[in-house]
Amino acid sequence: MALTLLRHASLGEQHAERYNGWTDLSIDPFRFDKKKVSILQNIHFDFVYSSDLKRCTQTLEMLEIEDYFTDSRLREIRFRDEIEGKTFKEVQKLPSYKSLYIEERDRWHQYICAEHPALFEGRIKSFLADLPRDKEVLICSHSGTLQKMMVLLGYAKQKINYLEWIRVENVI
């Protein structure tokens, strides 16, 4: 199986650099750089999967991909209500914030997330286990979800910018 992992298109400027987990936000069509993903339109995908959030489905629609399956397991990690939609600077001003949270990854994760890391990982593992074998698959999802997917597939975690994609071959 070959997987192409695509991060959704950019959101509007007002949502940039924020913890946007499960909030259903739209992409900014004026910031959609079709050149970055035009090669994907020339690849035949047997299956296309998307997070069920608008920013992913709209990305596929901007690519003129209409035949896809949505799956909530492809959502970004769920942030605490207090954190959702805020920038890091805004989070630092919250009464609950303590600078020691950023000293350790697990502590930071525990502070900002409402979803336990094991649950997040579990739903992504479940999705990967359900994928059809020996097929060409495109997955449109969120940065954190795609990073976790890469790690679970045995690759180094790497930042994936808006409309960037990574092809992973020989996935079993």
Provide the number of structural domains found in the chain. Answer: 2
Q: Is the pLDDT of residue 170 over 80?
A: no
Do residues 37 and 102 share a domain? no
Do residues 57 and 16 share a domain? yes
Do residues 70 and 122 share a domain? yes
Residue 172 binned pLDDT confidence (cut-offs 50, 70, 90): low
Highest mean pLDDT among 50-54, 104-108, 133-137, 166-170: 50-54
Please give the order of strands across the beta sheet that includes 165-168: 69-70, 47-50, 136-141, 2-7, 165-168
Do residues 98 and 59 share a domain? no
Question: Which structural domain range is residue 87 located in?
Answer: 79-114
Do residues 8 and 90 share a domain? no
Q: pTM for the whole thing? A: 0.93
Do residues 65 and 86 share a domain? no
Do residues 105 and 95 share a domain? yes
